[in-house]
Structure formats: structure tokens, C-alpha cells
Amino acid sequence: MPTAWLAIRPAEGRIETFTAGLKRSGFAVKQAMTMNPADGDVLIIWNRYGQADQCANAFEKLGLRVLVAENATWGNDASGGPWLSLWLGTHNRCDSIAVGDTARWDALGIDLAPWRPDGGETVGLPQRGIGPAGIAMPRGWIPPGCDRIRAHPGTNDCMPLETDLARASKVVTWGSGAAVKALQLGINVESHMPGWAGEQNNTDAGRLAMFQRLAWAQWTLREISDGVPFAHILEDVTAR
């Protein structure tokens, strides 16, 4: 039986949810932030910085899998959630998604608003800058060419995104979840993070393809508890 080391934030029953899903997928589960990678097959962490990043590096050095959990890119409460996101190796990147077919996104029934006409505000959407280099927004980075910059809700009180972007026709971001929500609202997005999971070309086809891909990194808590994402992402490990 393969072993999964679980080292995620304990908020809101997450440990119990992940433990249940991993066991249903055929894993023995151990919980710790310091461990011997040789005693495991998979490591699940929350984001990738500090001690969690050190553990991830040790696992990957042995050729073992690391899953990175984070808040859902399109919002934890979107479309009947709650959701979390799961990524291979690092979060928020296209190449960290175990992509399947288009049916997953199509089944969600999430509407994408028509594109807004040009001429509205250009709003900057910053991030908190948490995570490894290349993923986190660089310290001091300022979204260029904006009429104003929205305060990040994780560090400041601010109005709901839909209200704040009511007059916007474009947003500029490093690679934030708020920009993914803006795309749902029909707002053009200029992103600066190379390989961002939400990268697209502001066309109907490009936006749709991005959401179809992104859906394979977003999972409801019920799906996680049932083991659905682990069966999909770690199929080769569970088959050992």
C-alpha cells in the first residue's frame, strides 16, 4: 500500500477531508511536517514555502510526487463549492495541472459573460506574494498602465470584486484568482506571470480552453473526501 504524507493547514476540517480521500484512494496516511521521504510515496502540502518547500524538495529529489493544495483559483465558494485547488509540484501553473477532457468544465454549467466593450477602467489586481519564486508576485511589482489598483482582500478591507469591477473593461495582474473571476465577468485580462494557469488570449475560444483546463485543478471538498482527485492525479501511484 502506498503512503501519503499529509502536511497541510488544519483549518475547517481539511486534514480529515484529505485523510478520508487518500484512504479511499488506497493510501496509508501519515501526518507531519518533518518526515523521511524514503518512507512515503506522495507528499501533500499547503502552498510551497518555508518548511513545506524544504520537505517538497526532499521528496522530489527522490523522484516522488508532491501535491500542492491551495484556495480555489476561481473562489472557494464558486458554483456551489466549497472548492480547493490541487496541483502537481507547484500551484497556479499550466504545467502543474493533470488535464483531462472538457467534460469536467462543461458539467459545471458556469456561465461566462460576454466580453465588455473597451473604454472602461483598467484595474490592477495584486497578490499577497506568497509562494516560491516565479509563482509568487515579485516584491514591489506594480501592475502597469492602470487607472487604479484594487486592495488585496487578504490584507485589506475592500468591496466585493463584482462591485469593484463594475466599470472595468480590463484588469492587469501577475496571476491572481481575482483575474480568473474577472474573465468570468467578461473583462479582458493582461497577465505577467509566465506559465500562469489562467493565461489566455481574451478570445471566446482562448478563455473557454483555459477554464476547461483549469477545472482539472479545482476540486470540491466532497470530491476530495471521496478520493476523486487522487484517483485522477495519482493513478500511477495508487496502481502499485
pLDDT tens for 184-220 read 999 999 999 999 999 999 999 999 999 999 999 999 9
Classify residue 175: in a domain, yes or no. Answer: yes
Mean pLDDT of 48-75: 92
pLDDT higher than threshold 90 for residue 158: no
Classify residue 16: in a domain, yes or no. Answer: yes
pTM here?
Answer: 0.92
pLDDT at 42: 95
pLDDT at 34: 64
pLDDT higher than threshold 60 for residue 240: no
One domain for residues 196 and 221: no
pLDDT at 210: 98
Q: Looking at residue 51, which CATH number applies to its domain?
A: 3.40.50
pLDDT higher than threshold 80 for residue 226: yes
CA torsion 69→89→182→199, rounded to 10°? -170
One domain for residues 80 and 149: no
Sheet strand arrangement including 3-7: 28-31, 3-7, 42-46, 65-71, 83-88, 218-220
pLDDT tens for 11-35 read 778 999 999 999 999 999 998 756 7
One domain for residues 8 and 91: yes
- Work out how many domains the chain is built from and give that number: 2
Name the residue range of residue 162's domain. 121-201
pLDDT tens for 101-139 read 999 999 999 999 999 999 999 999 998 777 788 888 998
Classify residue 108: in a domain, yes or no. Answer: no
